[in-house]
A and B are shown apart, each in its own frame.
Chain A
Amino acid sequence: MDAQGPERVKPYAIEAKASYPVLVDQDNVLGALFGFKAIPNVFVVDEQGVVRYKRLSTFTIKKPEIRDELLDVLTRSAAPEEGAAPLVATAPNEAARIFAAGVRQYQAGRVAEAIALWHQARQLDPDNFIVRKQMWAVGNPDKFYPRIDFDWQKERLDRGE
């Protein structure tokens, strides 16, 4: 997820020696769809396009029990009766809509307008760390690139920002 697009993402994919497809979700479409408000998250989608596993915000391959959980889902084959439950389509919520409008502004080079919209989205969805961190990263690139300054973030969170 990054409103800043592929150029911002590429160095990280190279550093991670990613041997898998890397897609850039500039509008946070997946966050709105899957209901996550922070990263990282992991989902397993089966051969029929049905979600079989979801772990929000707390995924780490380093924890043996989480790794085993994931391996178990990957090796299990879906029983034929396990069809897809119908998905009720819902309109994106107001905060997600405003966040995406901010991305449009950012892409058009209007950074101040983008940050103002993201600030609105953050107020509507105060526990959404995707909105907040994207806004911080664009407004304060020196605190995120090339390395994240976590002390700086902690100070802002302590101030309720």
Chain B
Amino acid sequence: MAIEVGQCVPEVVLSDLAGRPVALDAYRGRKVILFTWASW
């Protein structure tokens, strides 16, 4: 069951490049473009 347009993103915490945790919630109040990529 994947998130669809119109649904709220649940709490997600990922690390930044320095290893510090960043919650997606921290961007609440701003529009966010989430672009997912990989090195491979």
**Which residues of A line the B interface, CB within 8 A?**
1-2, 4, 6, 8-10, 12-13, 21-26, 29-31, 33-36, 39-54, 59, 70, 74, 82, 84-90, 130, 133-134, 136-137, 144-145, 148
Contact = CB atoms under 8 A, between A and B. Distances in A.
A22 B20 CA distance: 11
Given A6-B17, A44-B31, A133 B6 contact: no
A23 B38 contact: no
A4 B39 CA distance: 10
Given A8-B39, A25-B14, A87-B7, A47 B29 contact: yes
If over half of B's interface residues share one DSSP class (helix, strand or loop), that class is named, otherwise mixed; here it is loop
Given A23-B14, A33-B10, A51-B9, A59 B31 contact: no
A89 B14 CA distance: 19
Interface in B17-40: 17-19, 22, 24-25, 27-40
Contacts of B10: 33, 87, 89
Interface residues of B, number: 34
Contact of A36 (B5, B15, B19, B36): B36
B39 A45 contact: no
B13 to A, nearest CB: 9
B36 A29 contact: no
A48 B28 contact: yes
Given A24-B16, A82-B6, A87-B7, 8 more contacts: A1-B36, A30-B12, A33-B12, A39-B38, A40-B36, A42-B36, A45-B31, A51-B4
Contacts of A47: 28-31
Given A50-B7, A51-B5, A136-B40, A74 B33 contact: yes
Contacts of A2: 38-40
A59 B34 CA distance: 12
Contacts of B29: 47
